[in-house]
Amino acid sequence: MTTALGAAMFQLEVRGDGVALLTFDQPESRANTLGQAALTELERRVAELSARTDLRGLIFRSGKPGMFIAGADLRELATIPPDPPVVRALVQRGHALIAAIEALPYPTVALIDGACMGGGLELALGFDFRLAGSHPKVEIGLPEVKVGLIPGWGGTQRLSRIIGPPLAAELICAGESVNAQRARALGLVFDVVPSDRLVDEATRLIEWAWHSQAHVQARARKRLPVGLTEDQHSFAFAVVHGQIMARTRGQLPAPLAALNAIAQGCNLPLEEGLKVEADAFVPLVGSPIARNLIAVFFMTQRLQKDPGVADPTVQPKKVERVGVLGAGIMGAGIAGAHVRRGIPVIMMDNNPTALAKGVAAVVGVLQSRISAGKATQADLLAAMSRLSTTTLLTPMGDRDVVIEAVVENEQVKTQLFRELQPILRPDAVLASNTSTISITRMAEAVAHPENFAGMHFFNPVDRMPLVEVIRGAKTSDQTVATLVALAKAIGKTPIVVRDSPGFLVNRILFPYMNEALALLEEGADPRAIDQAAMAFGMPMGPIALYDVVGLDTALYAAHVVNQAFADRAKTTRILQELVAAGRLGQKSGAGFYHYAKGSRGSDDPALAGFLQKVRVGSRSPAAEEMTDRLFLPMLTEATRVLAEGIVRDPTDVDMGLILGIGFPAFRGGLLRWADALGWSAVLQKLQRYEHLGPRFAPTEMMRQLAATGTSLFPAKG
Ligand code: NAD
């Protein structure tokens, strides 16, 4: 006999054997999240269950396939005022709920058969046992540091007690999640079982617990201090501290706050550990960095949902077969990205040696993913079975999309397009990966310019998430929508950009790169320039970036962009000198820095001779001036890009730079950074450098924002 008690989000069913099944299924949502309404209902359910002394056990599960609980409701969290008593009340609510689950007078089991993140895992940690299912989407973790927070419902304390403080610290401070197998190896779940066996296994676990009293022990273990010795304590946390500093250079407070909460709380009873955690959590909520990171999270979500075109009736074409022209660095990367995600590719190159190298490069990426535990041998075999090669154009006849990535030479590309025309299906989409050539101009060489666009990947393709989809003057909405959908299908984040020199990212990047060279020629030390950029949060400095990109490639791209914006672009001489001397950067062993085998770049005394030839001064600007001068020309260009309608809104600019050049997400993006400074303050800063040239002159948009006291992103919460 079963008793069913209906409810909006949680269904409670008490089976004939006395085991209660509580199922979480948020209506009209793909995810379960722990917002206020869900919490209220769950509190009521748990209160009911606490009174039921007649029950044999509780099984908690989700009604959604591939999803346990996605976490707290970030949208709600973003609107909570940074008011300590309000935040504390929310923390205490979670604590009380989980404590009530831990006090239920019978064994409890949480069934995790999908994403179990953040507050969802903190809730699951309140159960005596966790069982993971075999669904491929099982992913378990506490990713709060990624949005500038730490777990606030006991995650730092309970996970430390369940899997040990060093492992808990590693996972929580990196915001990393684990799959079912790893969760079992860590002791985070009791076992992994086929999804359709979860309820039966949980029932057996409940019976076993009654006999062994394992649930009583599990509860005691969570309540008590871990009891690390002083040596264990200092060693474990020093290692994780080192990892955090290497990853964040100390620029992000949340990972360090999480580490402190674990380190200070693990040798205390749970009650006191929870207080330590709450003290660390409260000041982070509503902090500028948390707000920025949450904003970036929402911007990412928005891009993921963006079809790339305004007209809702436009549908992307189905893409089942892709052709890639060119098997070089980019061609191989693009082909690899497709076959890894299940899309068959024919890769074409007119040079058979290049084809062989391209295939080896695809294998190489897959092998490194296997070494990193992100793929299996079977994945490699499956991916390679989808890749074929040719030196001819004829096999492109059955392709839905062909992506061109041959040498950066307009004549070579357009000649290839002409040869391709009679072979391609008339409705096939043709996309060029060019970095610098006008899409609108190249479209003149193709029979169906409406089916032609740019699809600009970044190097290395396997690691860079951004794809700029470039709309030429005649590109159709359907072509844009098709390439946007394809980019998403291979795990990339597309941003639609109107055709213009440098597209989005390079156009905004070059004023910054140019300024680094201007500073250098005025006398600044190259390391000091790189330091200033990294202190701001860039993953590497501009001088080191020149060496990575290749000075010849950078010189060529700079030429295109600087020529197009000659009224304001700052030109310098140093690149030309170094390229002429064969110093091309990392790939030639020396550029601005020197690269002995395996070295990440050391100072090179030979650079002084080149600098002497081009230097126009000998001053070393202060760090603040360098930061201002690097980022302000970038910002003025970004406002031009917006005003010209190159992208559709400020989100595209900020996400393009975060994903394309590693602009620090904790600053929320370039435009959001300026919003936070205030546009009047930006104008004041610019005034200081206006004598240096028009690149420091405020744009009309900047003046208006300052005059009206408005910001580009509406303020929330
Ligand atoms: P690459 O020199 O590594 O590869 C180019 C390949 O094209 C070579 O294998 C060559 O044999 C082949 N090729 C030349 N002419 C051909 C033809 N007529 N038919 C067939 N194959 C031909 O170059 P890459 O770095 O991979 O760049 C390719 C494209 O991607 C360029 O347009 C470049 O601007 C763009 N791009 C490069 C980067 C980067 O960082 N390397 C980043 C973004 C975009």
**How many Cβ atoms are within 10 Å of 254's Cβ, its own excluded?**
27
Write out the DSSP string of 278-300: HHHHGGGTT-HHHHHHHHHHHHH
Strands 3-5 and 57-62: unpaired
**Pick from 445, 491, 495: nearest CA to 464:** 491
**Do 248 and 143 contact (CB within 8 A), yes or no?**
no
Segment 319-329, tens digit of pLDDT: 999 999 999 99
Segment 275-286, tens digit of pLDDT: 999 999 999 999
Ligand 1 atom closest to Cα of 415? Answer: 18
Sheet containing 452-457: give its strands across.
387-390, 345-348, 322-325, 401-404, 429-432, 452-457, 466-471, 493-498
Residue 324 Cα to ligand 1 midpoint, Å, equals 11
Residue bearing the CA closest to ligand 1, atom 9: 328
The share of the chain scoring above pLDDT 90, in percent, equals 94
Q: For the ranges 234-238, 345-349, 515-519, 528-532, which has the lowest average pLDDT?
A: 234-238
**Do 64 and 27 contact (CB within 8 A), yes or no?**
no
Q: Cα(first)–Cα(last) distance of the chain, in Å?
A: 49
Alpha-carbon gap, residue 585 to 547, rounded angstroms = 4
Mean pLDDT of 213-239: 94
Residue 326 Cα to ligand 1 midpoint, Å, equals 6
Residue 201 Cα to ligand 1 midpoint, Å, equals 55
Residue 292 Cα to ligand 1 midpoint, Å, equals 37
Residue bearing the CA closest to ligand 1, atom 29: 405
Strands 114-117 and 108-112: unpaired
Please, what are the domains in the chain?
3-286 (3.90.226.10), 322-499 (3.40.50.720), 506-708 (1.10.1040.50)
Buried b (16+ CB within 10 A) or exposed e, 482-495: bbbbbbbebebbbb
**Do 376 and 400 contact (CB within 8 A), yes or no?**
no
**Residue 33 pLDDT more than 70?**
yes
3-state DSSP call for residue 265?
helix
Ligand 1 atom closest to Cα of 435? Answer: 34
* Residue partners of 463: CB distance under 8 A and separation at least 6: none
pLDDT of residue 245: 96
Alpha-carbon gap, residue 449 to 212, rounded angstroms = 73
Structure tokens at 244: 């955090």
Q: Which of 330, 414, 503 to mutate to test the pocket of ligand 1 (most atoms within 8 A of CB)?
A: 330
Longest dimension (CA), the chain: 91
Structure tokens at 676: 């936070």
Residue 389 Cα to ligand 1 midpoint, Å, equals 16
3-state DSSP call for residue 497?
strand
Residue bearing the CA closest to ligand 1, atom 35: 434
pLDDT of residue 716: 53
Residue bearing the CA closest to ligand 1, atom 1: 328
3-state DSSP call for residue 462?
coil
The share of the chain scoring above pLDDT 70, in percent, equals 99
Mean pLDDT of 109-115: 98
Q: Which of 407, 466, 587 to mutate to test the pocket of ligand 1 (most atoms within 8 A of CB)?
A: 407
Q: Which amino acid is at 179?
A: N
Alpha-carbon gap, residue 253 to 501, rounded angstroms = 39
Alpha-carbon gap, residue 391 to 381, rounded angstroms = 23
Determine the Cα angle at 156 with ends 152 and 161, to 5°.
140
- pLDDT band for position 2 (50/70/90)? very low
pLDDT of residue 81: 85
pLDDT of residue 599: 83
Segment 537-549, tens digit of pLDDT: 999 999 999 999 9
Q: How far is CA 490 from CA 149, 332, 336, 478, 487, in A?
A: 30, 14, 10, 18, 5
Segment 645-694, tens digit of pLDDT: 999 999 999 999 999 999 999 999 999 999 999 999 999 999 999 999 99
Residue 433 Cα to ligand 1 midpoint, Å, equals 9
Segment 245-274, tens digit of pLDDT: 999 999 999 999 999 999 999 999 999 999
Question: Does 456 participate in catalysis according to the annotation?
Answer: yes
**Residue 359 pLDDT more than 70?**
yes
Alpha-carbon gap, residue 55 to 108, rounded angstroms = 11
Strands 57-62 and 177-178: unpaired
Ligand 1 atom closest to Cα of 432? Answer: 32
pLDDT of residue 77: 87
Residue bearing the CA closest to ligand 1, atom 39: 459
- pLDDT band for position 80 (50/70/90)? confident
Ligand 1: list residues with CB < 6 Å. Answer: 325-331, 349-351, 354, 405-408, 412, 416, 433-435, 457, 459
Mean pLDDT of 395-416: 97
Ligand 1 atom closest to Cα of 355? Answer: 9
pLDDT of residue 5: 44
Ligand 1 atom closest to Cα of 357? Answer: 9
User: What torsion, rounded to 10 degrees, do the Cα atoms 145, 151, 152, 156 define?
Assistant: -130
Q: Which of 456, 559, 594, 691 is catalytic?
A: 456
For the chain, what is the total number of helices (H) and then of strands (E)?
30, 21
Phi, psi of 641 (to 5 degrees): -55, -40
Alpha-carbon gap, residue 369 to 101, rounded angstroms = 40
**Residue 441 pLDDT more than 80?**
yes
**Residue 705 pLDDT more than 60?**
yes
Alpha-carbon gap, residue 286 to 267, rounded angstroms = 29
pLDDT of residue 374: 83
pLDDT of residue 8: 85
SS (H, E, C) 576-637: HHHHHCCCCEHHHCECCCECCCCCCCECCCCHHHHHHHHCCCCCCCCHHHHHHHHHHHHHHH
More confident site: 78 or 550? 550
**Residue 7 pLDDT more than 80?**
no
Alpha-carbon gap, residue 294 to 692, rounded angstroms = 37
Tell me how far the alpha carbon of residue 551 is from its chain's centroid: 28
Q: What share of the chain is helix, strand, coil (3-state, %, to 5)?
A: 55, 15, 35
Mean pLDDT of 602-623: 96
Mean pLDDT of 122-137: 97
**Residue 600 pLDDT more than 90?**
no
Residue 332 Cα to ligand 1 midpoint, Å, equals 10
What sign does the CA torsion over 49, 50, 53, 56 have? positive
Q: Output the average pLDDT for the chain.
A: 96
Segment 35-61, tens digit of pLDDT: 999 999 999 999 999 999 999 999 999
- pLDDT band for position 1 (50/70/90)? very low
**Residue 4 pLDDT more than 70?**
no
